[in-house]
Structures are given as C-alpha cells and as structure tokens.
Amino acid sequence: RDVLTSPWCWQHALLLNRFSQSPSLESSLAEQGYHPAFPAALPYLSAAFRCYTSRAPGRFPAQKHQPGRLKEYYLLNAASLLPVLALEVKDGEDVLDLCAAPGGKAVAILQCACPGHFHCNECDDLRSRWLEQTIESFIPDPLINLITISKLDGRQIGDLQPEFYDKVLVDAPCSNDRSWLFSGDPQQAVLRLMQRKELSSLQFQLLRSAVKALRPGGSLVYSTCTLSKAENSDVINLILSSCRNVMPVDISGMARGVSQEFTFLSGMQQHELLVLPEKGRAWGPMYVAKLKKVSS
C-alpha cells in the first residue's frame, strides 16, 4: 500500500522501439543510471527487445504523439512486460491481443517478433482510439498492414474465430490496485467494490473465449494488475477445472530469469506468478498465468 500510494516511489521503464532507433539514447540512459532490465538468461528473447530500468524513482520525459513520426521508446511499468515474455511469440504466428488498449503489450509483442497476423481487440470506443494512436506512434507502415484492430466484445471472439490463433494474450480488465488505491473518492470506492464482485465473472468469460479462439497446441497468457486472488488464481483454477482441453504451463524458469529485477509472491503454482511492488522495485502488481490448449 505504501509504495502504491506514493508517487515518489514509482519507477518507470523504457521499452526501446526497434523501428525507430536513436544511436545516442542508450548511452544517454546509461549516463543517467539506467540499465538493461532483462538478462540473457531468457534464451527465447529477441536481441531486438531492449528495456531499460533504473533503481531510482522518477519519470523519464514522455514523447508526444506526432503523426507520421515514430516514437523512440514507450514508458511503462516493467512488470507489464512479463505477460509478453511469457507468451513467447515467434515470427509468423497468428496472435490475438484480446483486451489490447492502451497498446503497450501490443507494441512489446512487435519488439519480440513479427506475427503472421496480429489481431488487437478493444471493445471500448475511447480506449480503442488510444490503441490505434499507440500503434501508429510505434509501428511502421509495412508492419501495420499485418495488424487488425477491432472493437468486438472479447467474450464473443472465440465463437466468431474458433481455433484461429497460435497465441492469445488476455490482459483482462481488473480492479487496478495502483489507480484504485490512489483515488480517494468515497463514492468511487463504493462503485468499485461493486464492480470488483462482477469482474471475476467477466474475466472467466474472456478466458473461455480465448480458449475457443486458440488452435490445439496453442498457448494463452492471462494477466491482471491486481493483487486480488479472486481475479487471479481463482479465475485460472476455474478455467482449468471447467475446460478439460487446457493444461497449465510452467513459467517458473522465466520468473527465476528475471528475479533480480522483480519481487514475487512466494507459494504460487508453477504456471503463475505475482509481482509485488516494494521500494526500489516498485513494479507491479502484475499477475501472470500461462495455459496451453491440448485438443479441440
């Protein structure tokens, strides 16, 4: 709570844009005490994927959106890259980002690989425009042609496009602890407690849709930015018990590979992790779980 409600503790990571490289940016970051966040201990990670973090709190200046000009970096919470790393997208795969706005994870996926087809979905009108602007700010024209942006209800995509995707990311709507704790409006708090009770049902429906959209042998990653067990492990356990064609995938090796940068809750299952914010490592909260579809 102390870290989440204290902006002077917050840290920001910079995900460099491989499509708009500035030769001086990395040396400038090094001079300011930034270091590469993800080690070579992750063998599947593309050399083009470069993220810098600093132990010290503070915010690097953001770059404004300029039509026709690509940004050089994306500012984000470093923990939000873990779902992308867990997804392990490879060149040529068909990928669905089910709840894609504001677009940071979509940009990160495209730093890792070049999908055969990339479907970014966001049902909310305002957030969908935000997603479009993010893609336009970071991705060059030839690659944009591989991206489809839709405004569908994510719960229906599995029925509309059954067994269509190799990889699916479900970065689900959740009770975002960082923004919810920081807002002190009592009326909003009552509304959010009511929403919180309904979210796990929505998350389960989105996950079930994602499973339908996956090809047999394909994998999905589920993520939230909440500490709520009801929205994290409970939702995953419900999917595992109700979908016989889904099995958990061990991501403990990935967690060990990034353990210098993040603090994880102990006692989690091998297919899940939960990043806990603390001073000097103010990343998270971020829950990540990985599943695989074994049959139709």
pTM, entire model: 0.94
Q: Residues forming the annotated binding site for S-adenosyl-L-methionine?
A: 99-105, 122, 153, 171
pLDDT for 179 equals: 61
232 vs 83: CA distance, rounded Å: 13
> How many other CB atoms are found less than 10 A from the CB of residue 39?
12
Mean pLDDT by 10 residues, the chain (296 residues): 82 94 91 87 82 87 91 96 96 98 97 96 97 96 94 98 98 79 64 75 97 98 95 97 97 93 96 94 95 94
- Cα dihedral 254, 176, 90, 293, rounded to 10, equals 80
225 is a catalytic site residue: yes
Residue list, annotated binding site: 99-105, 122, 153, 171
* Model pLDDT, residue 184: 62
Sheet architecture: strand order including 35-36: 35-36, 51-53, 13-16, 73-76
Q: How many CB atoms lie within 10 A of CB 141?
A: 8
DSSP secondary structure string for all residues of 217-256:
EEEEEEEES---GGGTHHHHHHHHHH-TTEEE---HHHHH
* Distance from C-alpha of 50 to C-alpha of 261, rounded to nearest angstrom: 14
* Look-up of token digits 């990985």: 290
The beta strand positions in the chain, using DSSP E, are: 13-16, 35-36, 51-53, 73-76, 94-97, 117-121, 147-150, 165-171, 214-224, 246-248, 272-275, 286-293
Tens of pLDDT, residues 4-45: 888 788 888 999 999 998 889 999 999 999 999 987 667 778
Tokens of 148: 């489809």
Q: Considering the candidates 51, 120, 225, 243, report the single residue annotated as catalytic.
A: 225
Question: Could you give the CA distance from residue 30 to residue 238 in angstroms, rounded to a whole number?
Answer: 45
Domains of the chain, earliest start first: 77-293 (3.40.50.150)
CA 55 distance to own-chain centroid: 21
